[in-house]
Every structure is written in structure tokens, then in C-alpha cells.
Amino acid sequence: MNVLLRRPPVRSLALDDRRAWRGTSVLEGELRELGVRAGRVLVVHASLRGLGLGFEAGAVVSALRSLLGAEGTLVVPTHTAGNSDTSALFRRAVEGMTTAEIAAHKAGMSAFDRATTPSQGMGRLAETVRVLPEAVRSAHPQTSFAAVGARAAELMEGHDPRCHLGGVLAAGQAVRGRRRHPAAGRRL
């Protein structure tokens, strides 16, 4: 008996009429159309599934870094909601547990280590950036960010541990004094 295995059709951000993959140069072109420019600070939280199965996380990170250039900085969320006993993730994990079981669960929670703690629910793109040797991660134990590029250290050191998002995101906006690109936040 012969069995023919077929790969599912490859989807990508760039689809032609036959829904065929057209390559990473097309990805760079489309990112450029969205406003990715050299020298900027770019905060990206993206689903590879949303971009399409034609691109691996490394290819997307490479395309973004190429467009941002040596003076640009790529920032991604590397949140770890499981490190907080007030998060929805924690509450779901302990739902229905006794007080003793909750205490045991808390005792078993690993402490946040910005060098080694993986992000939770942020996706492969964020993890790809986080584990780069040159990546700098903010020290917030629940809503950290990681960055690579010219201003990575400066932006990540500015993340106030008392503020979930404001320190990193506000620093990026204040320095540029630019408005959001109209496509920002758009689902692709």
C-alpha cells in the first residue's frame, strides 16, 4: 500500500492568488509598508500563526532587525504571569485547592530570574528574542520585556518594578515623540 503524505499548504503574510509562499524579502517589504524603519524602537507582540506558517520566528526576528538597522531596537513582551499569586493564571491553577494545597503550590513556584525564566504565553517570537545572547531583559517579575539593539539596555533598565507596563513603553514613546503608525495593532 502506498501512502502519499502531503504537507499542508504554506500560508504566509505574503500570499498570492494561489496562497503560495513568496519569501522573506516579501516579509521585509510588508514590514516596511507597515512603517518599520531604521533607527526606531519597535515593540512587537505578534503571533506567528497570524503572520502565517511560512515564517519561522528566527526569520521574522532577522527581518525586523535588518530593517531596524544598527541604531534600531526591537522590544518584545516576555511576561511571566505565573510568577504572581494575583494573576489570572495563578488563580486558575489553584482553583478548587485547599489552603494547604495553595500554600504548597506557592512554595513550589520558581523565583523569577530574568536570565533564565521563560516567558509564558508570549509566543515563539518573544522567546526567540529573549534567548538571543545580546538580549537585555527588564527585571519586572511579572511583565518583563526583552530587547535587542542600540537602546536595549537603556530601555530595559527603565522598567520600574512598581509599574507593569508604563516604564518601558512610555520611555519608548517619549524619546521618539512620534505618533503610532496607523497600522500599529492591526491584525495581519
In the numeric block, which cell numbers belong to residue 158?
527603565
In this predicted structure, what is the pLDDT of residue 5? 31
Give ∠ CA 158-169-133 in degrees, rounded to 5.
Answer: 65
| Mean pLDDT score across all residues of the chain | 78
Contact 138, 144 (CB under 8 A): yes
Q: Report strand pairing: 136-137 vs 41-43.
A: unpaired
Query: 145 in helix, strand or coil?
Result: strand
117/179: higher pLDDT = 117
Task: Say what the pLDDT of residue 52 is.
Answer: 62
Residues 6+ apart with CB under 8 A from 90: 81, 82, 84
In the block, which residue shows the cell 510588508? 30
HSE-CB for 23 with a 13 A CA cutoff:
3
pLDDT value for 82: 80
What's the average model confidence in pLDDT over 85-93? 85
Q: What backbone phi and psi angles, to 5 degrees, belong to 20?
A: -95, 150
Length of the chain: 188
Mean pLDDT of all residues in 28-53: 85
Look at residues 169, 178, 113, 177 and name the one whose alpha carbon lies nearest to residue 145.
169
Residue 88 has pLDDT above 70, yes or no: yes
CA atoms of 74 and 64, how far apart (whole Å): 8
161 within 8 A of 140, measured Cβ to Cβ: yes
Q: How far is CA 38 from the centre of its chain?
A: 19
Q: Which residues, in sequence order, are CB contacts of 84 under 8 Å at separation 6+?
A: 90, 141, 142
Kind plus residue range of the DSSP H or E element containing 157: helix 152-157
What does pTM read for this prediction?
0.75
